[in-house]
Amino acid sequence: MKITLIRHGETEGNVKRLYYGASDLPILPESEQKLRDAAAKGAYPSFPRYYTSGMLRAEQTFRAIYGDTPHGVLRDMREIDFGRFEMRPYEELKNDPEYIEWITGDFEKNVCPGGESGEIVTERAYRALMGVVNEGEDALIITHGGVIGGVLSKLFPCEEGRYRFTPEPGCGYTVEFEEGKPVGLIEFNAGRE
């Protein structure tokens, strides 16, 4: 059985390099068109089941690729809440003592003031993913870069952690499972030019 995890299309938050996760930003019109074009060329395969995180950018990405195809929503696959740092760039935060403490510590364990930690996000997303795996049928989930990176670093531990697996917008990974255990990983780069 295979589960494909795709990152949503590009947003203003990506372009401006903002800390955003809980903010429900739309994808950029040019990114939406790029996804439509790739889908029209057959770059995105069909699946027996489809899901999104339910956030606007994931829903728009899904519609750009799969149109009105029915799909479920896995709210626990939403992106990290950066709390007080939400919608702010590094340049604005670099001298903030709370930010410095958070960023120089253990990202996985340190909780953003008023937000979440990487570990919290990974655990909730992992539970949602395993619920899909337990259904035993191939599926696609359109979610977020940090979520994909966190879940894959839990399934396939490595020194680089989540950063090894954070895909570009419109791209992702296909994970092969046997008896509920991950046995293979293939990069899915349909969204790249």
pLDDT at 142: 98
SS (H, E, C) the chain: CEEEEEECCCEHHHHCCEECCCCCCCECHHHHHHHHHHHHCCCCCCCCEEEECCCHHHHHHHHHHHCCCCCEECHHHCCCCCHHHCCEEHHHHCCCHHHHHHHHCCCCCCCCCCCCCHHHHHHHHHHHHHHHHHCCCCEEEEECHHHHHHHHHHHCCCCCHHHHHCCCCCCEEEEEEECCEEEEEEEECCCCC
Q: pLDDT tens digits, residue range 167-177?
A: 999 999 999 99
pLDDT in tens, 43-56: 999 999 999 999 99
Domain spanning 2-188, CATH architecture: 3-Layer(aba) Sandwich (3.40)
Q: What is the pLDDT of residue 91?
A: 93
pLDDT band at 192 (very low <50, low <70, confident <90, very high): low
- Residue 12: the pLDDT is 96
Q: Is the pLDDT of residue 191 over 90?
A: no
Global pTM? 0.94
pLDDT tier, 161 (very low <50, low <70, confident <90, very high otherwise): confident
Q: Locate the domains of the chain by residue range.
A: 2-188
